[in-house]
Structure 1
Amino acid sequence: MIGERIRELRTAKSMTATELAKAADVSVGMISQVERGITDPSLETVRRIARVLDTPVFSLFQDVDAEPVAVVRRDRRMDIRSPQGGIVYQRVSSGAGKIEVLEGLLEPGAASSDTGWSHPSDECVVVLTGRLVVEVDGTRYDLKTGDSATFDSRNPHRYLNETSKPVRFLLAVTPPSY
């Protein structure tokens, strides 16, 4: 679905795949593979493409023909990976609503990003298993299984796993924007 949305937005702007690739600083092959559904782009690649297409990141994941009740089967969830490979998000929500729900898996010693990231949303994170450090605007919050944190995503933030075991968490973002 993301590839179809990228192609749709790119062609609406009368932009070639080569122009999009150059402006987003990714290969033409990557754009081609994403648009054809052969590969899933990293979260950083999605952010770059969204900037060039002048659209919010969440709009690339929206299903324009949404059903009144959207069921997302566990084995059909979309993966969103960081370029460093330390974190994987699976989209739990359908992508057609006003809230994005993701299940995150953060590997030992990994972080969701090198530095804090901000976007115009609110987030709520709930730790399912393990320990998670939530860093918001330079302040660290140590969360254990069952703990949660809610914050304004316009403040630079990131997630860190400073343990030797993976941490799983649910993340709700509204409006969707990553």
Structure 2
Amino acid sequence: MMGERIRELRAARSMTATELAKAADVSVGLISQVERGITDPSLETVRKIARALDTPVFNLFQDTDLERVAVVRKDRRMDIRSPQGGLVYQRVSAGVGKIEVLEGLLEPGAVSSESGWSHPSDECVVVLTGRLVLEVDGERYELKPGDSGSFDSRLPHRYLNETTKPVRFLLSVTPPSY
């Protein structure tokens, strides 16, 4: 689905795969494989492609056939992986509407990004299992199961797992953005 959407957005902008690859600083082969559904790109690659297409990340996952009720089956969720590994997001929401909901799994010792990252949204994170460190604008907040943290995503932020066990969490982002 994402590959088809990227191809659709690229064509709407009259871009060739080569032009998109250059703008996103990735290989033409990778763009081709993603568009044909052969490979799933990393989260960092998805962000680069979204920037090159001048569209929010969520728009790459959006189904253009809007349904009145969108159901996402657990076994049909799309995985989004961090480029250095250690973090996997599964999109729980359908990719349409004004909110994006992700289920995250952060491996022991892993971080969501090497440094704080910002985008024009609001986020709310809820820890399901394990302990998560939420870092926002240089301040750290330790969250345990059932704890949540809400913040303005324009502030640099990231998630850290400083324990020896994986941490699972739900992340809601509104509006969906990159």
TM-score interval (norm. to shorter): over 0.9
**1:95 to 2:89 alignment:** no
Measure, in 1, the Cα distance between the counterparts of 2:78 and 2:58.
13
Measure, in 2, the Cα distance between the counterparts of 1:12 and 1:122.
29
Q: Deviations over 1:76-104 (max 9, x none)?
A: 00000000111000000000111100000
Q: TM (normalized to structure 2)? A: 0.98
The letter for the 2-side match of 1:162 is: E
Matches within 5 A, 1:1-178: 1-178=1-178
Measure, in 1, the Cα distance between the counterparts of 2:23 and 2:63.
25
Measure, in 1, the Cα distance between the counterparts of 2:80 and 2:61.
11
Q: Secondary structure at the match of 1:176?
A: coil
The answer for unaligned runs of 5 or more in structure 1 is: none
> What is the CA-CA distance between 1:160 and the residue it aligns to?
0.2
Q: Which moved more, 1:5-14 or 1:138-147?
A: 5-14
Q: Which moved more, 1:4-13 or 1:121-130?
A: 4-13
Q: Secondary structure at the match of 2:51?
A: helix
> What is the CA-CA distance between 1:72 and the residue it aligns to?
0.5
The letter for the 2-side match of 1:158 is: R
Q: Percent identity?
A: 85
> What is the CA-CA distance between 1:123 and the residue it aligns to?
0.4
Q: TM (normalized to structure 1)? A: 0.98
The letter for the 2-side match of 1:22 is: K
Measure, in 1, the Cα distance between the counterparts of 2:14 and 2:73.
35
The letter for the 2-side match of 1:118 is: S
> What is the CA-CA distance between 1:142 and the residue it aligns to?
0.4
> What is the CA-CA distance between 1:22 and the residue it aligns to?
1.5
The answer for unaligned runs of 5 or more in structure 2 is: none
Q: Deviations over 1:90-131 (max 9, x none)?
A: 000000111100000000000000011101111000000000
Measure, in 1, the Cα distance between the counterparts of 2:159 and 2:63.
28
Q: Secondary structure at the match of 2:46?
A: helix
Q: CA-atom RMSD, angstroms?
A: 0.8
Measure, in 1, the Cα distance between the counterparts of 2:55 and 2:173.
17
> What is the CA-CA distance between 1:61 and the residue it aligns to?
1.2
Q: Which moved more, 1:2-11 or 1:110-119?
A: 2-11
The letter for the 2-side match of 1:111 is: V
Runs of 4+ in structure 1 displaced over 2 angstroms? Answer: none
Paired residues, what number?
Answer: 178
Q: Secondary structure at the match of 1:112?
A: coil
